[in-house]
Chain A
Amino acid sequence: MSGHPPQFAARLLYFLLPATERDAILGDLEEEFAAENRLSLWYWTQAMESIVFLIWRPLVRQGLGILTGGAVMAVALVLTQTGAKLVLPKLPHWQPLEFAFTLAVVGFGAIAASCAGYLTACLTGGGLLRNTILLGMLLIGISAYWLRTIAGSSAPMWYRGALMVLILPAALIGGHRRARHELMLARSGVGGRKSSLNGN
């Protein structure tokens, strides 16, 4: 038993915990450590396991949500490419329709990015803007890779530009739609999120 909690564990928690919860958690641990004459081992165990619950798990959840959104976009792009390869050669005189087809592919890409944004917002919960921007950057990366390696030089420049420009706003719109959906559920008293500790 000792009079003060282990300083290193307390500092570690101080640096790792979100600012909004830092005081409450460190204060709780310090109060119980002193009032109940807890061992340093107890403090360390509480500190390390709290890091798992409050930092590691949300990080994994956020990463999985963003990766799932990225996978949706990748699948959509592969399906587009496969569909184009299968359908277009079978159409007689398809060249005049190339512009309309390319436009439809851009629209499809934007819809896929929007769906990815919605899905990521569902899976990750809080931090909507940050998560959607991270997702948007991942989607831009995936699309750039796809345009460079798979779509090849046949894709017109305007198509590349339009897809790149539309992806981030489309992902943000998808995330925003999810937030509105949750707000509607919360207002109707069915469920959804109203606020969070981080927001207070």
Chain B
Amino acid sequence: MSKGEFLGEFEHLVLLAVLRLGEEAYGMRIRQAIEERTGRRVVIGAVYATLERIVSKGYASTWLADPTPERGGRAKRFFKVEPRGVAALMRSEKALQRMRQGIRIARSTA
């Protein structure tokens, strides 16, 4: 299996956020979801750069909605995780599980 088939940490977070948000998955909501759940500061440009990579790998699809007034007449770009994205997530989760097996991570060791 090549390196490109595994998800980077931020790709992993973005895909999970898109899955979690379902039909409400667009840039701002994805950024906020990651920030709220992980506590790390997230830049909208990083989210879009990662989403572009995810879409180019076929892990997610994207489409533009109609413009709305609260956004100054600008359209939202929505995202949806595709079956290949789900498979990539499962692959990464399994790899992490296998790496964790037999290891007890304690604060005292850090």
Q: Count the A-B residue pairs with Cβ separation under 8 angstroms: how many?
A: 109
The interface size of chain B toward A, counting residues with CB under 8 Å, comes to 33
Decide if A197 touches B52 in the complex (CB within 8 Å). yes
Given A31-B28, A31-B70, CB of A197 within 8 Å of CB of B55? yes
Interfacial residues of chain B within 1-43, with CB under 8 A of chain A in the complex? 2, 4-5, 26-28, 31-32, 43
SS class, residues of chain A in contact with chain B:
helix
Inter-chain CA distance A162–B78, complex, in Å, is 50
Task: Indicate with 1 or 0, residue by residue over B44-73, a CB within 8 angstroms of chain A CB atoms.
Answer: 111011011001111000111001101110
Chain A residue, CB-CB nearest to B45:
A50
SS class, residues of chain B in contact with chain A:
helix
Decide if B27 touches A24 in the complex (CB within 8 Å). yes
Inter-chain CA distance A52–B77, complex, in Å, is 21
Decide if B77 touches A24 in the complex (CB within 8 Å). yes
What interface size band does chain A fall in?
35 or more
Decide if B72 touches A27 in the complex (CB within 8 Å). yes
The yes or no answer to B95 lying at the interface (CB within 8 A) is: no
Which B residues are closer than 8 A to A by beta carbons? 2, 4-5, 26-28, 31-32, 43-46, 48-49, 51-52, 55-58, 62-64, 67-68, 70-72, 74-77, 84
Which A residues are closer than 8 A to B by beta carbons? 21, 23-32, 34-35, 45-46, 49-54, 57-58, 125-126, 186, 189-198, 200
